[in-house]
Amino acid sequence: MMAELKVSGITFAYEEAPILENVNIELHEHELVSILGASGCGKTTLFHIISGLHKPQQGKVVLNGKDITGCPGQISYMMQKDLLLPYRTIEDNVSLPLVLKGEKKRKAREKVSLYFEEFGLEGTQKKYPCQLSGGMRQRAALLRTYMFSRDVALLDEPFSALDTLTKSEMHRWYLDVMDKIHLSTLFITHDIDEAILLSDRIYLLTGKPGRVTEEIIIKEPKPRKKEFNLTEEFLEYKRRILERL
Amino acid sequence: MKRKSPNITSKLLPVTAVFLLLAIWQAASSAGVIPGFLLPSPLEVAMAFAEDFPLLMENARVTLLEAFIGLAAGILIGFVTAVLMDCFEWLYRAVYPLIVLTQTVPTVAIAPLLVLWFGYEMLPKVILIVIVTFFPITVSLLDGFRAADKDTISLLRSMGASKAQIFRYVKFPGALGAFFASLRISVSYAVVGAVISEWLGGFNGLGVYMTRVKKAFSFDKMFAVIFLISAISLLLMWSVNVLQKVSMPWEEENR
């Protein structure tokens, strides 16, 4: 399998304080890979570097063989907050990436309208973000991320602000959508259960400055049932991760 | 979904208060507590208003024209200044104190100078209105631009947005609320600014009318024109509210 995204030897310091040291990450086609680590270990900084918002002192970000280090606008990035613009309707929020690329407003609306059902957002097109629940806003933000690029998406703790019940509902929804759209995804989380449930592989990012200390492969085939997190294998993965964190 | 009844009661109270005040005033005048040459009764004011109606309208037209031209120029200058100051940090630091300084100069003091420099026609009046109206616009827009969410800007940058696109899709719409708040202030400043500049030199306008009736000691007409100016300001502020509702439909939904 050909590597789609290759992050190699990333070292980054902010005002003399080292944040990341020699981080290597690979993301293959249609894979979901989690980066698991405690708060403050540089996960979000790593995403800022991969998306091109920050330039690392050392290391390279290569997407499909092209060096994109420090060039924004190549990879979809969904941040922790949904960041939907309060003054745009959901359809206009979702079509923003297309409009930014020079697409006409009406054409962009037409294109995004095809995905509303798939993402469980039907009927929200003309609504404003404040009229939607947290889970629905997250879905809209994810659809916007998907509209930007079908290759690789970075998701920074997309479900962390939701309550437990909404969160597990979103997990089920997410696994379901991913099964249909096959997005290659890098996923930040500090929730071990979430990482095991959703990922094909997990990188553990620990220490200060942050380093990748372990790579764990989750062998459970997809699509996964939600009962997976009650099985013995699941607990075995969890035990292994807890030992190393 | 519209809640109607609280709206009616909320308007009922101030309207009653105004009518009560007018009634007390009328009663005091009729009973001879206040002599008519010092303070005319509301009825006398209303009669003076009716009598001079064509003249008042003719003068109001001139004043409103000045106010609109001045306000439009003020908004344009305020907008451009705010955008430039948001783009260039050095310009912000250099110009901001100067802009504040323009507001500390009393309007009444510079109006005669403007007349001296630019004559009795419309130009000095428009300049004065620009000076008083651009400030609230500049400051509020600038604050609005600077308050734009950093994460949202990062998100748009990650989508490859240019500076101009970030302005158009994040900063500008985000500053609209602050802009309308300042526009409400600026429209009333514009009308008052026009009247003040007309006091100090001019051929027609509500300010000129005011100085004339004052010299003739026609206090009933004086009050008539004061009420007219208030009414015009209120009407303009209300128009700004309507304009805001039309151009910010999401605010309605947020309620």
Residue ranges in B88-205 assigned as alpha helix (H): 89-104, 107-118, 122-146, 150-158, 163-166, 172-199
- Strand pairing of A3-14 and A17-28? antiparallel
Put simply, the answer to whether B174 touches A52 (Cβ < 8 Å) is: no
Four-residue CA torsion sign, A153, A159, A160, A161? positive
Q: How many A/B residue pairs have CB atoms within 8 Å?
A: 60
Span B159-187, mean pLDDT? Answer: 93
What is the DSSP annotation of A216-237? Answer: EE----SSPPGGGGGSHHHHHH
Domain at A1-75+152-245: CATH architecture: 3-Layer(aba) Sandwich (3.40)
Q: Within a domain: residue B136?
A: yes
Check if the beta carbon of residue A205 is closer than 8 Å to that of residue A23: yes
Nearest CA among A22, A18, A20, A21 for reference residue A9: A22
Query: Is residue B30 a part of any domain in this protein?
Result: no
Give the pLDDT band (50/70/90) at residue B8: low
Percent of chain B residues past pLDDT 90, beyond the cut: 64
pLDDT single digits (tens) B69-97: 999 999 999 999 999 999 999 999 999 89
C-alpha to C-alpha distance for A56 and B89, rounded to whole angstroms: 26
* Interface membership of B151 toward A (CB under 8 Å): yes
Task: Provide the percentage of residues in chain B whose pLDDT is more than 70.
Answer: 96
B181 touches chain A (CB under 8 A): no
- Nearest-Cα distance to chain A for B169, in Å, is 9
Say how many domains are in chain B.
1
pLDDT at B144 over 90: yes
Put simply, the answer to whether B158 touches A86 (Cβ < 8 Å) is no
ipTM value for the complex: 0.87
Q: Is A135 on the interface with B (CB under 8 A)?
A: no
How many CA atoms does the CB half-sphere of A125 hold within 13 Å? Answer: 12
Helix (H, G, I), strand (E, B) or coil at A215: strand
Considering the domain boundaries, does residue B54 fall inside one?
A: yes
The predicted-structure confidence for A33-76, as pLDDT tens digits, reads as follows: 999 988 778 888 999 999 999 999 998 999 888 888 888 888 89
User: Once rounded to an integer, what is the mean pLDDT over residues B22-51?
Assistant: 88
Mean pLDDT of B209-221: 89
Band the pLDDT of B226: cuts 50, 70, 90.
Answer: very high
CATH number of the domain within which B174 lies: 1.10.3720.10
Cα of B176 to nearest chain A Cα, Å? 10
The domain in which residue B205 lies consists of 48-254
Find the residue in B nearest to A79 (Cα).
Answer: B155
- Test the B interface: residue of A74, A80, A83 with most B CBs within 10 Å: A83
Q: Is the pLDDT of residue B202 over 90?
A: no
What pLDDT sits at residue B104? 86
Contact residues, chain A, for B149 at CB < 8 Å? 83
* Type of residue at A6: K
- C-alpha–C-alpha distance, residues A11 and A26, integer Å: 16
The answer to whether residue B17 sits within a structural domain is: no
Cβ contact B250–A75 (<8 Å): no
Domain boundaries, chain A: 1-75+152-245, 81-148
Q: Does residue A78 contact residue A145 with C-beta atoms inside 8 Å? A: yes
Residue B2 resides in a domain: no
Residue B159 in contact with partner chain A when CB distance is under 8 A: yes
Smallest Cα distance from B159 to chain A, Å? 4
pLDDT at A3: 52
Residues 6+ apart with CB under 8 A from A4: A27, A28, A29, A63, A64, A151, A152, A184
Residue of A76, A100, A130, A157 best to disrupt the B interface, most CBs of B under 10 A: A100
Chain B touched by A85 (CB under 8 Å):
yes
Identify the pLDDT of residue A34. 92
pLDDT interval class at B179 (50, 70, 90):
very high
Residue B242 lies in a domain: yes
pLDDT of residue B153: 94
| Interface contact A100-B254, CB threshold 8 A | no
Q: pLDDT below 70 — which residues of chain A?
A: 1-3
Residue numbers in B near A88 (CB within 8 A): 173, 250
Q: Which 3 state secondary structure label does DSSP give A132?
A: coil
Torsion of Cα atoms, A123 then A100 then A49 then A33, to 10°: 30
On the 0-12 / 13-18 / 19+ scale of CB atoms within 10 A, B79 is: middle
Measured between beta carbons, the chain A residues lying within 8 angstroms of B152 are 83, 85
